[in-house]
Amino acid sequence: MNSFFNRSGKLPMIIIIVVAAVLVLGIGAVAFMKMHKGSHSHAKKKVDYVAWKFDEMLVTLADSEDLHYLKTSMTLEMEYTDKSKIPPEGEEDKEKPKALDVINSVCSGKTLAKLLPEAGKEKLKEEIIEKLNGKLENSQVREVYLTQFTLQ
């Protein structure tokens, strides 16, 4: 049997090639199944997300003794379950001005003391989501990202 393995090293090379081929095929099959997992589910609706960007806004805070300001920029991740409601490329959603009004109202109702701690920022985000989702007809806010947040 010793001479069987020493035939120019062909048998060990064949074994290595077969093992490598099996591994590659196994990894490929797992990757294929993960990529196509759930693609046959017809019960789920297709959901599309659109980013609404709000550039720098300056809001006077509700502090009664001193004058304080919030300078912020944010992006809202909007969810559309009806694809026909998504505005065409380059056009804004007609509800975006309504969203800006709600954001200004929510922010201007806050005090410096409520916004200073990290928990205050999270509560602000939650309140924006809650208020907007109660007002918007064609979309829902999925997430609020504060891209700038400066208090004075």
Q: What is the pLDDT of residues 127-147, one digit of tens each?
A: 999 999 999 988 999 999 999
Give tens-digit pLDDT for 13-23. Answer: 777 787 777 77
One domain for residues 145 and 113: yes
Q: Identify the helix (H) or strand (E) that includes residue 108.
A: helix 96-108
Of the candidates 108, 148, 106, which has an alpha carbon nearest to the alpha carbon of residue 127? 106
What is the per-residue pLDDT for 37?
A: 61
Number of domains in the chain: 2
One domain for residues 57 and 119: yes
Q: What confidence tier does 41 reach under pLDDT thresholds 50, 70, 90?
A: very low
One domain for residues 56 and 31: no
Global pTM exceeds 0.85: no
Domain membership flag for residue 126: yes
Question: What residue type is 144 in one-letter code?
Answer: V
**Contact by Cβ (8 Å): 120, 28:** no
Q: Determine the structural domain holding residue 123 and report its residue range.
A: 48-151
CA 20 to chain centre: 39
Q: Looking at the predicted structure, is the pLDDT value of residue 1 above 70?
A: no
Q: Looking at the predicted structure, is the pLDDT value of residue 50 above 80?
A: yes
Q: What is the CATH number of the domain that holds 117?
A: 3.30.479.30
One domain for residues 94 and 147: yes
Query: Coil, strand or helix: which one is 67?
Result: coil
